[in-house]
Amino acid sequence: MYVPVDEAQPGLFGFHLAGSDTTDIILAGHELDAVAAFQETGIPAMSLPRGPYQLPLDTMRALERFERVYVWLDDDHQGAEAAKLITRKLGVDRCLIVHSKGGNPQGPKSASIALARGYDLKSVLESSQPVQHDKVLDFSALREAVKFEVTNPDLIRGVESTDFPGWNAIYKGLRPGELTILSGPTGCGKTTVISQMSLDFCKSGVSTLWGSFEIPNVRLATRMMGQLAKKDLSKSPMEVDYWSRKFEQLPIYFLKFHGSTKPDTVLETMRHAVYAYDVKHIVIDNLQFMMSMQAKGIDKYDAQDAAIATFRQFATDENVHITVVAHLRKDQPAADADINSVFGSAKVTQEADNVVILKRHGNSESKVRCLNVLKNRFDGALGKVYMSFEKEAMAFKEIPPPRKRQTAKIVKTAGKLSIADRLLAEMESTNMLDHDSEDSSGSSTT
């Protein structure tokens, strides 16, 4: 059945204004900005079909014939990052960046706001500047960004999770240009938690590429769709089509690799995904499966180090966030796991911006997990977040930190227990004082 709202594809707003002899265009982030720019400058103005932070491949091809493109996005931190991406894809030599604020922090953020405040948009357009070479900078190119970071510390945080508010307080959101290592013992739920988090970010508009080298894509997508629905869809088969359409609308893509794969092959595909689909978050699950047949003996550590270094450089060059799932060392007890417990050499954790270890809290049957942030290059904040596994939704739910066990102190008085001590002992025997008790019906997660 065709559902227009679910299946309609957005177009390039304002493209019809450009004639066959048009050489210059304005590329705005929103329809209202495009209308304002065209009205005041007379230059055909268009807005991106999927918001100001994505330039689809078909749209990029449609813009190839124009000689000059004025990129006029919101004059803020996110707009500046999006403008860099768009000009790099369209070609820096033919792009000019328009700054609505003109260097004034209190100035209008966009073309439509500038028009409403009485600004001369022609003058604003004429003050546009070419893109500087990305390898050479002076402080004047950094000044506004530095000022923005100093005066808006909350706005430079990354995309935050809606499922794990406590995680946001420590991790400060998913930030582009960083590499995160997620490790933990086998079966503790690494794939489950990162699939839930990546889905969470996807719902906030973060285009995501999943490289699942251990679990087949069909099984991974099935799990993620259940996490989206927050229920076991095998018990509600009539809802599968509905949630399939919802899942299909998310900006999520999957690598068609499984098991051992050469890192260069993976990197080439990642680069295409960033170029064609504006991918901002890449998940590699997991490093050991991807590298399993690439080297043996001591050489496998060198091969793994080289792969991590390549991912680190890719994250910087392409301004994307890469999350790599890695095993712990086999000789390392899970309960004592720390930053030195990650499989491989020290280079793995040295290259990473963030190192997080997931492990069970309590006994081996516990449904409670602890996400321990052991490295955070952004602001140095470290800490733990506790979660409980919900089998029905195949997802985790953040919970308060479990309290330490309170042990009743038994004091004998003339060979007998006092009434107060006897009451404490009875409460302890029925787990009334054990706030850290574990549910023995926990389910193993991948």
416 in any annotated domain = no
In the predicted structure, residue 244 carries a pLDDT above the cut 70:
yes
Is 406 among the domain residues?
Answer: no
What is the reported pLDDT for 92?
86
Query: Do residues 170 and 142 both lie within one domain?
Result: no
Task: Indicate if the pLDDT at residue 103 is higher than 70.
Answer: yes
Specify whether 123 is located in the same domain as 171. no
Tens digits of residue pLDDT in 330-352: 766 666 788 888 877 678 889 99
The tally of CA atoms less than 13 A away on the side-chain side of residue 246 is 15
Cα angle 239-242-247, degrees, rounded to a multiple of 5: 120
The pLDDT of 254-268, averaged and rounded, is 89
Is 197 found in the same domain as 143?
Answer: no
In sequence order, the 6+-apart residues with CB closer than 8 A to the CB of 336 are: none
Rounded to the nearest 10 degrees, what angle do helices 77-90 and 139-151 cross at?
140
Helices (H), ranges, 334-377: 347-351
Mean pLDDT for the chain?
Answer: 84
Residues 18-60 pLDDT 10s: 999 999 999 998 999 999 999 999 999 999 877 656 788 888 8
Give me the domain span that covers residue 28.
4-151
Q: What is the mean pLDDT of residues 163-177?
A: 93
pLDDT of residue 433: 38
- Whether the predicted pLDDT of 154 surpasses 80: no
Q: Range with the lowest mean pLDDT among 153-162, 191-200, 329-338?
A: 329-338
Q: Which of 381, 399, 417 is the last residue of a domain?
A: 399
pLDDT tens, position by position, 105-119 = 889 999 999 999 999
pLDDT in tens, 263-283: 899 999 999 999 999 999 999
Q: How many domains does the chain have?
A: 2
In this predicted model, what pLDDT tens digit does every residue of 129-141 receive, in sequence order?
A: 887 766 777 787 7
Q: Looking at the domain assignment, is residue 427 inside a domain? A: no
Q: What is the CATH number of the domain that holds 351?
A: 3.40.50.300
174 pLDDT higher than 60: yes
CA nearest to 161, candidates 200, 192, 216: 200
Highest mean pLDDT among 38-52, 295-309, 386-400: 386-400
315 inside domain: yes
> Are 56 and 193 in a shared domain?
no
Residue 424 located in a structural domain: no
Q: What pLDDT, on a 0 to 100 scale, did the predictor assign at position 408?
A: 43
pLDDT at 44: 95
- At 81, which CATH number? 3.40.1360.10
Looking at 383, 399, 415, which one is the last position of a domain?
399
pLDDT at residue 404 greater than cutoff 70: no
% of the chain with per-residue pLDDT over 90 = 53
pLDDT at 286: 83
Query: Does residue 192 sit in the same domain as residue 312?
Result: yes
Assess whether 277 and 325 both reside in one domain: yes
* Per-residue model confidence (pLDDT) at position 411: 44
User: Considering 96, 129, 151, which residue would you say is the last residue of a domain?
Assistant: 151
302 and 192: one domain?
yes
Reported as a pLDDT band with limits 50, 70 and 90, residue 157 is confident
Cβ neighbours for 178, distance < 8 A, ≥ 6 positions apart: 315, 321, 322, 353, 354, 377, 378
What percentage of the chain carries pLDDT values higher than 70?
84
The verdict on 178 and 254 lying in the same domain is: yes
Within a domain: 409: no
Same domain, 173 and 147: no
pTM: 0.69
Is 411 contained in some domain?
Answer: no
pLDDT of residue 261: 85
Do the beta carbons of residue 348 and residue 286 sit within 8 Å?
no
Pair (247, 326) in one structural domain: yes
Is 250 inside any structural domain?
yes
Mean pLDDT of 364-370: 84
Q: Which of 146-155, 173-182, 316-325, 363-372 has the lowest mean pLDDT?
A: 146-155
Q: Based on the domain organization, do 137 and 209 belong to the same domain?
A: no
115 and 174: one domain? no
